[in-house]
Amino acid sequence: MKQKLEALILQAIDVLKKDGILDGGVSPKFTIEHARDAQHGDFATNIAMMLAKPAKSNPRALAEKIVAALPVDSAVARVEIAGPGFINFFIDPNAQYQIVQKIHDDGSQFGLSRTGAGQRVQVEFVSANPTGPLHVGHGRGAAYGSVVADLLEAAGFEVHREYYVNDAGRQMDILATSIWLRYLEECGEIIPFPVNGYRGEYIREIAAEIHKASGNEYRRPAELLIENIPVDEPQGGDKETHIDALIERAKTLLGSGLYQDIFQVGLKTILQDIKDDLAEFGVNYQEWFSERMLMESGAVDEALNRLQQAGYLYEKDGATWFASSRLGDEKDRVVVRENGQGTYFASDIAYHMNKLHRGYDRIINIWGADHHGYIPRVKAAMQALGADESKLTVLLVQFAVLYRGEEKVQMSTRSGEFVTLRQLRNEVGKDAARFFYVMRRSEQHMDFDLKLATSRTNENPVYYVQYAYARICSVFRQLDEKNWARDLLEGMKHLPLLKEEHELNLIGTLARYPEVLERSALNYEPHQLIHYLRDLATDFHTYYNAHQFLVDDPALRNARLNLISAAKQVMANGLELLKINAPEVM
C-alpha cells in the first residue's frame, strides 16, 4: 500500500512539474508513514512540507495543489490536508480486506521479500574461543546473530552463517596444558595448578576421559614438570611467564605427537560441545572456519606480504608493526611479535582478506561490545589491502547482566563459576531465552531477569504472544466440536462484514508485517519483529475479548475465522523466524 501511495504522489509531482509549479530539478525526498492517530487516516506524507521551500510556497497551499494533481485510485477513499501541511490518506476498507486473502494465499511465504535478491551476505557470529563452554554472554550474540541472518534471508539475501574457530594460538596451548595437568592429577601426581590455567570442571572431565582411554601413556613425573619453571603469581612470580614455561615444558616432555593428541582431544571435545549447545539453541551455521587451517594455508604470510608491498609494515623493537594509525586507527599495531609469532590480529587480517576474496556483497561481524576498539584496525587493514571497507559492518552486542529478581547473578570466568548458556537454557527454556535476548536493541545494555523469564504467570512477555497463537488454535478446535465446517470462500466473500474497530485494527496490523520484516532485516534490528508480534497479539487478545468468533451467522463467522486464521499465519511466520515455538495448546 505504501508503494502504491508513493507512486501516486510521484505522479502528482510530475504533473506539478509540467505545470511549472515545481522546478523540474527538485528531487522529492519525503516519507510515508502509518498515521498514529486514526483521525489522521491510515497513512500520512510530509511531502508538502519538504517541498515548500524549493517551491517557494507555503506547505498547506502546496499540499492543496498536490492533492488536486493526485490521480484517482480505488484504494484511496479520501485525502485530507491537516496540521502544518500533512497529506492524510484514508484507505478504502475494501482495499484493506485484500490482505486477508493474500496472507491465506502466501501462507508461510507471507512477508518474505526479494529486496536482497542476488546479494550474498556473510554473517559471522559468536566465534568464541573453543576453550570452554559458551556462557550467557555468548548467548546474546548467538540469538541476535542467528535472527539477523534469518531476517536477511527472509529479505531475499543469500546468507552464509559462519563461526570463526580460534583453534590456534596461545589460549589453545593454555587449554591443552591445563588438560594435561589435570590428567596428571588423575594419574596421582601432585602438582600445583597454575592460576592462569583453565580451572573449569569440564577440564577435569576431559582429563578423566583421556586417563580412562589411555591409562598412563601421557604421564610424566611431577618433578620433571616443575624443574626450573619460573614461579607462579602467588609465589611472587609472573603468571604469564609461568604458564608459558609450563606450555613449553609440556611440549618437551610429551613430544609434539603426544602433545598434539591432548590438544586435539581438548579442541574436539569443547568444539563439539559448543556445536551441540548452539544447535539446541536453534543456531546453525554453514561453516566452521578454522584459524589453524588459515595459517597452514599460508594466508597469513600472504596477507602480511601484501601489507608489506603496500608499504604499511615496519620494524620496531624487534617486532613487525602495521601502520594502522595512517588509516584512522589510534595507534599502530603489532602483527609479528618479537618472538617471531604472528598476533591474533595478523590472522584476523588474513581472515578478512579471505572473506573479501569470497566475493560477498556484505560482510557482517557480530562482536561483543568489549571488542569495539578493534574495529578501526580491522577496517584499516582492509583499506590497506585495497578493499572496500564499507562492505564490512560490525554490529556490537552489549553484555547482558543476569538478575534473579533484584539480585545480580555474579559471573567469574576465572573461578569457573560462570553461568553457561546451557544452564540458562535449562533454567528458562529455549523460547524464553531467545525472546529475552532479542527483545532489546543490541546496543542496549541489557538486564536479563531469570526470575521473569521463568515465571509462568502474568508478567512474562514470551507467553503473551504464544498464548494468542494457542487461543486461535483453540477456537478452531471448538469449531470442530460444534461440527461447524469452516467455509473459506464464504468467509472471503464476506470480509466486508468485518467493520468493528477491533477488526480493522487487526487488519491494519497484519498489513504492516512485510514492512516490519524488511525494516527489521535491513537495520539488523530483530527487536522490531518482537515488538510487532506483541502488538499483533495485543490486537488479537483485545478483539477476542470484545467479540465472539463462533457466531450463528455463517457469513460473519467465516469472515471472522478467516481473519483470525490470517493472524495465526502471521504469528506463526514471525515466531518461526525467531525460532520460537508456536504452541497449539497452552
- Which residues, other chains included, contact 533 with Cβ-Cβ below 8 Å and sequence gap of 6+? 465, 571, 574, 575
Candidates 37, 105, 227, 388; binder of RNA (CB under 7 A) is 37
Name residues contacting RNA, limited to 348-377 (CB under 7 A). 369-374
DSSP 385: T
Candidates 57, 88, 122, 178; binder of RNA (CB under 7 A) is 88
For 493, the grid coordinates are 466473500
Candidates 67, 95, 226, 396; binder of RNA (CB under 7 A) is 396
Query: Residue 12 or residue 395: which is nearer to RNA going by CB?
Result: 395
Residue 3 interacts with RNA (CB under 7 A): yes or no:
no
Name residues contacting RNA, limited to 53-82 (CB under 7 A). 53, 59, 82
For 308, the grid coordinates are 608489506
Query: Residue 398 or residue 420: which is nearer to RNA going by CB?
Result: 398
Query: Residue 217 or residue 338: which is nearer to RNA going by CB?
Result: 338
Residue 542 interacts with RNA (CB under 7 A): yes or no:
yes
Query: What's the half-sphere exposure (Cβ side, CA atoms, 13 Å) at 159?
Result: 23
Query: Residue 52 or residue 250: which is nearer to RNA going by CB?
Result: 52
- DSSP states of 422-435: HHHHHHH-HHHHHH
- Helix (H) / strand (E) element for 94: namely helix 93-96
Query: Residue 394 or residue 492: which is nearer to RNA going by CB?
Result: 394
Query: Residue 297 or residue 444: which is nearer to RNA going by CB?
Result: 444
H helices of 482-584, in order, are 488-493, 501-522, 526-546, 554-578
Ranges of beta strands (E only) in 136-210 are 158-165
- What track of x and - describes contact with RNA for positions 479 through 518 (by CB under 7 A)? ----------------------------------------
Query: Residue 214 or residue 581: which is nearer to RNA going by CB?
Result: 581
Query: Residue 205 or residue 338: which is nearer to RNA going by CB?
Result: 338
In degrees rounded to 5, what are phi and psi of residue 385?
A: -85, 10
- DSSP states of 447-485: EEEHHHHH--STT-HHHHHHHHHHHHHHHHHHHHHTTPP
Name residues contacting RNA, limited to 242-261 (CB under 7 A). none
Distance CA 265, CA 269 (A): 6
Query: Residue 50 or residue 577: which is nearer to RNA going by CB?
Result: 50
Name residues contacting RNA, limited to 429-448 (CB under 7 A). 439-441, 443-447
Residue 581 interacts with RNA (CB under 7 A): yes or no:
no
Distance CA 144, CA 150 (A): 10
Judged by CB under 7 A, the stretch of 146-154, 192-200, 457-465, 567-575 that binds RNA is: 457-465
Candidates 153, 387, 549, 580; binder of RNA (CB under 7 A) is 549
Residue 90 interacts with RNA (CB under 7 A): yes or no:
no
Judged by CB under 7 A, the stretch of 115-123, 154-162, 392-400, 408-416 that binds RNA is: 392-400
CB 470 within 8 Å of CB 583: yes
- Burial of residue 184 (CB within 10 Å: 0-12, 13-18, 19+) is buried
Instruction: Read off the amino acid at residue 528.
Output: Q
Distance CA 585, CA 366 (A): 36
Q: In angstroms, how far is the first alpha carbon of the chain from the final one?
A: 36
Residue 545 interacts with RNA (CB under 7 A): yes or no:
yes
Helix (H, G, I), strand (E, B) or coil at 121: strand
Beta bridge partners of 447: 401
Query: Residue 391 or residue 541: which is nearer to RNA going by CB?
Result: 541
Judged by CB under 7 A, the stretch of 68-76, 302-310, 349-357, 533-541 that binds RNA is: 533-541
Residue 404 interacts with RNA (CB under 7 A): yes or no:
no
Instruction: Read off the amino acid at residue 543.
Output: Y
Residue 288 interacts with RNA (CB under 7 A): yes or no:
no
Candidates 541, 554, 576, 581; binder of RNA (CB under 7 A) is 541
Name residues contacting RNA, limited to 137-166 (CB under 7 A). 166
The CA–CA distances, whole Å, from 558 to 562, 563, 568 equal 6, 9, 15
Query: What's the half-sphere exposure (Cβ side, CA atoms, 13 Å) at 441?
Result: 3
Residue 49 interacts with RNA (CB under 7 A): yes or no:
yes
Name residues contacting RNA, limited to 461-480 (CB under 7 A). 461, 463-464, 467, 470-471, 473-475, 477-478
Candidates 44, 155, 578, 580; binder of RNA (CB under 7 A) is 44
How many residues belong to the site for RNA (CB under 7 A)?
Answer: 92
Residue 169 interacts with RNA (CB under 7 A): yes or no:
yes
